[in-house]
Amino acid sequence: MTGPEQRILSGYHAISGVKKPTDQWEIRKDKKYSNFDLPELLHNLNLLVEIAEQNIVTNNQELCNLEDRLVVIEQETKKLGESINDKDKSIESLEKMIVIMESLNDALKKNMLDSNQAIKRLTEMKENYYPDYRLNGGSVLALSISQILIKEMLSTWDPLQDPTMPIEELKKWKELLTLNEPCAVGFQTSDEFQTLIWQEWVPQVQKACGQWKCRDYNSMLKLVEQSAELIPTDIISKVLENMILPQIQSEVEKWDPLTDLVPIHLWIHPWLPYLSKHFETIVYPTLRQKLSVALNAWHPSDNSAKLMLQPWINVFQQGYMEAFLIKNIVPKLQAALHAFVINPHHQQLDNWNWVNAWSDVLPLPTLVELLDQHFFPKWLKTLTMWINMNPNHEQISNWYTGWKSLMPAVIVEHPTIKGRFHSALDIMSRAVGGPSMPQPPPPPTIHGGLAEAVRTASQMPHGFKELVQKRCEERGILWMPISGRFREAKQVYRCGARLQAFIDRGVLFVSQDGTNFAPMSVQSMLELCE
């Protein structure tokens, strides 16, 4: 090897390559001395050494445990000291709270405690000693004091005369009685303010509801509106449902549309933002029934019916409103058109104006069918007779244009009405020797619409339910009553696998989801079942 290499040396003598000198002890230790061989002594010495080592280890472990225990004791001592300090502070706080409570109690016994003073002292106690106030039922004390003071204040309160009187005072108590976090004791609720309202405010409102006249809605409505910002929502809902709604329902049952001078919508509509859902099932059925009875003797020349129904057009559900008009208004308008005399030389438009006045109320399909079946046949017949008398064609043209201008644009643009006017133009064209006008496309067929429901209702035999049942049997479709299921006091039937239906005053109402019922013809219902 020409390069450097590593060596492991056993001593300084190895640096120069000298052999390590022999140690005499190394030579002598391997020699056996049989005369001094004492194995028992060696065993005992080794045993003593092991025992000493074990004692050392044990003592060391005990020392470590004692040191750890000392640390724990020191920590516990520190914690106990802190706890004692906290308890001392808590005792001091409780003593101060007791002083405040005793002063409030003494003032209360002497009838010298007013609301502002009580709120001030209780607020001071809550802010300065909040942990003890919360843990030891401070809000319960505040509730008991507030009940006494609020009860005294509300004893002379008339909610209908001064609905806002207690609002400011209740706001102060709400801030005091509402805790920032859940309570830690079982006898204390999380919001004592609700308890105060239930026990003191609600009874006064209930008493006022017993004396309230529904037609004078302003006072009670103002009470609800002003209180809604302060009183919890669930309490307001209970007041509306259990106190105000029964009063309105009772008044609606007493209402007579023929004799009452005040329109019912004036004192019902203000409550729609609060009770509209409840009105659907409780108030509106009674209201529609009374209106229907009142319209039995109605004549289309009386415009009061439209004025009475217009406020409800966008309030009643669309299906119910259209069914109501079909049953109570359309037959009267049909009779008016039937009695209408079309005389080009001396035209009286009274009957026409009666019908046309309902053009913004009736559903478009119903109005179109009304004109198509009860006006245009007579109108076209008159046109044909007039043309056969060799009249002045300019007069006929003006007559045609005049009638067209009397109808709203939405009706004139309907395919069915367009077809009728086209037929008139065709008659006029043939009369002057011109070519026939091309026929417009037929209007779309309306299946299951309200117009078809009108035809079904008008041609209905006495046993309409039996007729429907017979039609279902002929097609092998299930038709059976559903036990315990009624709609507006009418038995609900199952039709086929998924439809439900009921019959009300000769009109068939059908629902595919069991909730929303709409007028429908028998034929359309059978087609849905197949």
Domain map of the chain by residue range? 113-180+189-254, 463-528
pLDDT of residue 342 exceeding 60, the answer is yes
Angle at 123 between CA 117 and CA 129, to 5 degrees: 135
> What is the pLDDT, as a whole number, of residue 402?
92
pLDDT at 61: 92
**Structure confidence by residue, pLDDT tens digits, 181-235:** 554 444 444 478 888 889 889 999 999 998 899 888 898 999 999 888 888 889 9
pLDDT of residue 271: 94
Report pLDDT for 36.
60
Task: State yes or no: pLDDT of 452 exceeds 70.
Answer: no
Taking 80 as the threshold, does the pLDDT of residue 279 lie above it? yes
Q: Between 367 and 520, whose confidence is greater? A: 367
Q: How far apart are CA 522 and CA 464, in angstroms?
A: 10
pLDDT in tens, 43-81: 888 899 899 999 999 999 999 999 999 999 999 988 988
Residue 369, pLDDT score = 92
pLDDT above 90: percentage of residues in the chain: 34
* Nearest one of 322, 339, 334, 406 to 373, comparing CA atoms: 334
Q: Is the pLDDT confidence value at 441 over 50?
A: no
CA angle 428, 420, 361 (to 5 degrees): 140
Q: Between these two residues, 439 and 84, which has the higher pLDDT value?
A: 84
For residue 174, the model assigns a pLDDT of 83
Query: Which comes out higher in pLDDT, residue 316 or 439?
Result: 316
From residue 155, alpha-carbon distances to 34, 150, 200, 372 in Å are 121, 8, 9, 68
Q: What is the pLDDT of residues 470-517, one digit of tens each?
A: 888 887 787 878 877 888 878 888 888 788 998 887 778 888 888 888
- pLDDT over 80 at 518, yes or no: yes
Residue, of 420 and 521, whose pLDDT is higher: 420
What's the confidence (pLDDT) of residue 515? 82
Determine the pLDDT at residue 437: 41
Q: Confidence band (pLDDT; 50, 70, 90) for 390?
A: confident
Q: Cα separation of 55 and 215, whole Å? A: 102
Q: Residue 120: what residue type?
A: K
Mean pLDDT, the chain, whole residue set: 81
In tens, the pLDDT along 402-427 reads 999 999 999 999 999 999 999 999 88
Interacting residues of 477 by C-beta distance below 8 A, sequence separation 6+? 495, 496, 526, 529, 530
Amino acid, res. 412: V
Helix (H, G, I), strand (E, B) or coil at 175: helix
pTM above 0.75, yes or no: no
Separation CA 502–CA 510 (nearest Å):
7
Is residue 33 very low, low, confident or very high in pLDDT (cuts 50, 70, 90)? low
pLDDT-derived band at 461 (thresholds 50, 70, 90) equals: very low
Amino acid 23: pLDDT? 57
